[in-house]
Amino acid sequence: MLKLLSPSHFHSFHHRANFLSSFLPKPSHLPIPIPPPPLRSLIHSHQSIPPRRTRAQCLANSRRNLSVRALESSASETKKDKDGGGADSDSETELGKSVDDNNGSLRGNGDYADGEFVFQKRDGWKSFVVKLRMLFALPWERVRKGSVLSMKLRGKISDQLKSRFSSGLSLPQICENLIKATCDPRISGVYLQIDPLSCGWGKVEEIRRHILDFKKSGKFIVAYVPACGEKEYYLASACGELYAPPGAYYSLFGLSIQASFLGGVLEKVGVEPQVQRIGKYKSAGDQLTRKSMSKENCEMLTAILDNIYGNWLDKVSEGQGKKREDIENFINEGVYQVERLKENGWIKDILYEDEIIDRLKERLGHAKEKSLPMVDYKKYSRVRNWTLGLTGGKDQIAVIRASGSISRIRGPFSAASSGITSEEFIEKIRSVRDSKRYKAAVIRIDSPGGDALASDLMWREIRLLAASKPVVASMADVAASGGYYMAMAAGCIVAEDLTLTGSIGVVTAKLNLGKLYERIGFNKENISRGRYAELLAADQRPFRPDEAELFRKSAEHAYRQFRDKAAFSRSMTVEQMEKFAQGRVWTGKDAASRGLVDALGGFSRAVAIAKQKANIPQEKQVTIVELSRPSPTLAEILSGIGTSIVGLDRSMKELLQELTTSDGVQARMDGIMFEKLEGESYNNPILSLLKDYIVSI
């Protein structure tokens, strides 16, 4: 451990490596340690159905006439501010003139395309063309007629596309497989095996919507769930046929959120976190400074939990054909026996997997002694949309995916597919802006935030892109803090009902390690020039009053910039935006009712809106161009063929990936809350180091 923490290895750290500074002689400006957290090609089936106007749309309409007055309000506010903080109103107003009146804006018109999937059975010439293409398909695209598509959904589901050699599941490929299977005459049905999931409710909702769309084809879809919680049942219940083995683990007991606090622990070891967070709901930093949950954080988490639980009860009761009260009463009985679940209609039958396969053989007319023709998720992902006649439109829509924590540059140990770096993202944005091929763009975001400067740089580039062509932001599990910062630059924001949204606030921190140094006999002395030269360098003492004041002003300035740009982007006054900012996280549904989101839905609706804004008829096919397609790394190739990678275990790789430069203010959502809502079991090496240290003293 001492070798790993050698001072020569570090200068400044990313969020998860903060506690290491307690062992180093050269500290730097440290952000908060928070753990970092996929294509729909059947576009011609998205018909333009006049949508029902929601409260959110009506509210959004009433705000559009505010236009860019938000920044004028901000400017006047800045003049009154003795500290001289606030946004640069001149530059923002200029940007507003160049961006606000563009062909990609539907502001002032809340009638967004529905994007609802409508199954259209092929016949005649189209059917002949598809069969001809299948006849000459490449060997790896060939599927036996009457096959069952088998997919195992478990663990983490990424919003990014995966290469052939990458492990794990990809949301866009799961959804695309269901779309292809809907129209593929060779596929008779789908067999889903669902195990505990480590993804958010936004991704679960997207998959559930595609399951319901698949059922419109008349084909069967069967779910086998041996271990089931609320999230897994929410997904499986959409299938209609749900089976479980006799010894299945079912725990439908309700939902909870937990938050952990290190304030007392750090106090005991002599570490004093000095955190500046702007916004009373901005709970990032509470993990370090508090010993219990704040009233504001409790209020926010309670509202989010009520939204998730209420949505679960509504959707499950609707799918089961039961009253909401009956569902809730059954949950409150603490039922775990699969026999009772079958008696009450929660599952169709209790069967082992081989018995389910035998039933599928019988349904498809196969002899019991013969094997059931099946095609798995990975192989079916290689079947091209072109083969099934699901692409070919002249008009192209670019899709840029942004998933993970935000930083300005990629660290030397970071994987190419890990996180969002503003440098790489901006290159893609500019390529879309400079190209005449693309009629519109969809920015797909799944991020809890990160570096505030990187978020601002990407905001600017997305705004410039929106000046030349329609841009729609589609949000997955989470688009909070820096993630929302990116989204608000688009002409339209689309979120799932339960997407974690907003968290308009900032946080920055420094650790005072004086007492810890004293206990372990370590000493540090500084020689400096300049009044504030030791602001971030002197970690052996707390801030002086003037340093603390400068630290506070810096964070407040960053917050005002974020808030004012949010107000400008959403056509609100600063006063209106302040009510919804303050670092508060909303669900997508609540965010829509407050004008932070324009429409509710998934990726398919975002594409439909992009077509609408680009004046492309909804019934017309378009070509989706994924600009974030991964290139397999050597490590992935070696891993794919079963070779271990030079003995590095998961914890060490995660630690090395986080040793990257990330100075400055952070626009980041509370990682603890994100971890618990996601169900993700983050292996935080910094907390492990902290635990090891405490044990050793």
Burial class (CB within 10 angstroms; exposed 0-12, middle 13-18, buried 19+) of 305: middle
Helix, strand, coil share (%) of the chain residues, nearest 5 = 45, 15, 40
Residues 286/252, Cβ–Cβ less than 8 Å: no
**Cα–Cα distance measured from residue 122 to residue 129, given in angstroms and rounded to the nearest whole number:** 10
CA angle 637, 411, 429 (to 5 degrees): 85
**Cα–Cα distance measured from residue 359 to residue 549, given in angstroms and rounded to the nearest whole number:** 71
**Cα–Cα distance measured from residue 294 to residue 282, given in angstroms and rounded to the nearest whole number:** 10
Q: Residue type for 123, please?
A: D
Cα–Cα nearest to 33, from 360, 616, 507: 507
DSSP state of 542: P
CA atoms within 13 A on the CB side of 101: 4
Phi, psi for residue 412 in degrees, rounded to 5:
-65, -20
Residue positions annotated with a catalytic role = 481
Phi, psi for residue 223 in degrees, rounded to 5:
-115, 135
Task: Give long-range contacts, CB 8 A cutoff, 24+ apart: 314-321.
Answer: 315/208, 315/234, 315/237, 316/233, 316/234, 316/237, 319/237, 319/238, 320/237, 320/345, 320/346
**Cα–Cα distance measured from residue 516 to residue 25, given in angstroms and rounded to the nearest whole number:** 13
**Tokens describing residue 530:** 């300049």
Number of alpha helices (DSSP H) and beta strands (DSSP E) in the chain: 26, 24
Residues 506/282, Cβ–Cβ less than 8 Å: yes
Burial class (CB within 10 angstroms; exposed 0-12, middle 13-18, buried 19+) of 163: middle
Taken in order 206, 207, 209, 210, is the CA torsion positive or negative?
positive
Instruction: Kindly give the residue spans of alpha helices, DSSP state H, lying in 100-229.
Output: 124-135, 171-183, 201-215
**Cα–Cα distance measured from residue 222 to residue 192, given in angstroms and rounded to the nearest whole number:** 6
Phi, psi for residue 314 in degrees, rounded to 5:
-65, -50
Helix (H, G, I), strand (E, B) or coil at 155: strand
Cα–Cα nearest to 494, from 406, 619, 608: 608
Burial class (CB within 10 angstroms; exposed 0-12, middle 13-18, buried 19+) of 475: buried
DSSP state of 81: -
Instruction: Kindly give the residue spans of alpha helices, DSSP state H, lying in 137-185.
Output: 171-183
Residues 403/150, Cβ–Cβ less than 8 Å: no
Taken in order 495, 499, 505, 506, is the CA torsion positive or negative?
negative
